[in-house]
């Protein structure tokens, strides 16, 4: 279903009509231009590619003028943006399928140059929110998997160690999927059935009930849920 690309600003609270306090995540989603449209005949499914933000562009190669160091949009990205009528290459591109479980059986039609805004959502509806969780680096089993650890008594040296990891004679190996130390976080996570509490079209803000994966200023994808 159609969605929008936004930036997680943080969390706040709202009060509903019953006076109940509702924790909300605030997502800023500036208007997303449609940069590409895929049809069923061309790709086997209908989808639109949306852009968010803008990348820096290299300065014209003039005599005596240098382009500062840092990331710049490539010529391919600039060419793709110019086909969509954009002056700068979007910082984020995301494709949204249009024919996966449509609400009324009809696939909405979009053309290159259209703009998707937060007003496609209404308070009370349910959405899917995808974000990348905070990266915590290489962590042990206590923090990564919630192991209890060893006793904190005198003489013990195995407070936060995983203990035995393999079996004995049978099967004489470490079982696949064993919970061990490793990379923790920095994984894409999708939360389902998140309720939209409020939509502020003037400031391009969406208030989502509860928390969603990702740090402050992290990119999130909010999609309609069929």
Q: Which domains does the chain have, with CATH numbers?
A: 1-30+117-144+179-226 (2.40.30.10), 32-57+72-116 (3.30.160.810)
Contact 3, 92 (CB under 8 A): no
Alpha-carbon distance 90 to 104, whole Å?
32
Cα(125)–Cα(220) distance, rounded to whole angstroms?
A: 18
State how far the Cα of 30 lies from the Cα of 64, in Å rounded to an integer: 37
Q: For the chain, what percent of residues have pLDDT higher than 70?
A: 93
Quote the CA–CA distance of 197 and 195 in Å, as a whole number: 6
Spatial distance between the Cα atoms of 101 and 99, rounded to a whole number of angstroms = 6
Burial of 5 (0-12, 13-18, 19+ CB in 10 A): buried
Q: How many C-beta neighbours within 10 Å does residue 61 have?
A: 8
Q: pTM here? A: 0.86
Beta bridge partners of 222: 4, 129
Q: What are the pLDDT digits (tens) for 65-96?
A: 777 677 889 999 999 999 999 999 999 999 99
For the stretch 151-196, pLDDT in tens is 999 999 999 999 999 888 888 899 999 999 999 999 999 999 999 9
H-type alpha helices, 111-200: 141-145
Q: Which residues contact 100 (CB under 8 A, 6 or more apart)?
A: 1, 45, 226
Q: Answer positive or negative: Cα dihedral of 5, 102, 225, 100.
A: negative
């Amino acid at each position: 279903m159609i969605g929008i690309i936004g930036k997680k600003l943080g969390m706040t609270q709202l009060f509903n009509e019953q006076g109940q306090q509702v924790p909300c995540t605030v997502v800023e989603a500036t208007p997303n231009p449609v940069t590409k449209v895929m049809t069923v005949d061309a790709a086997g499914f209908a989808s639109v590619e949306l852009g968010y933000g803008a990348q820096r562009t290299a300065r014209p190669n003039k005599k005596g003028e240098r382009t500062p160091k840092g990331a710049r949009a490539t010529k391919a990205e600039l060419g793709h943006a110019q086909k969509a009528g954009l002056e700068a290459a979007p910082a984020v591109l995301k494709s949204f399928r249009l024919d996966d479980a449509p609400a009324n059986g009809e696939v909405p039609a979009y053309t290159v140059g259209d703009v998707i805004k937060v007003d496609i959502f209404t308070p009370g509806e349910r959405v899917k929110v995808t974000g990348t969780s905070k990266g915590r680096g290489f962590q042990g089993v206590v923090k990564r998997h919630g192991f209890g650890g060893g006793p904190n008594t005198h003489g013990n040296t195995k407070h936060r160690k995983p203990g035995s990891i393999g079996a004995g004679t049978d099967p004489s190996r470490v079982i696949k999927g064993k919970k061990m130390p490793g990379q923790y976080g920095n994984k894409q996570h999708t939360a389902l059935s998140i309720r939209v509490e409020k939509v502020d079209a003037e400031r391009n803000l969406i208030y989502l009930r509860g928390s969603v994966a990702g740090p402050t200023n992290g990119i999130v994808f909010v999609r309609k849920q069929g």
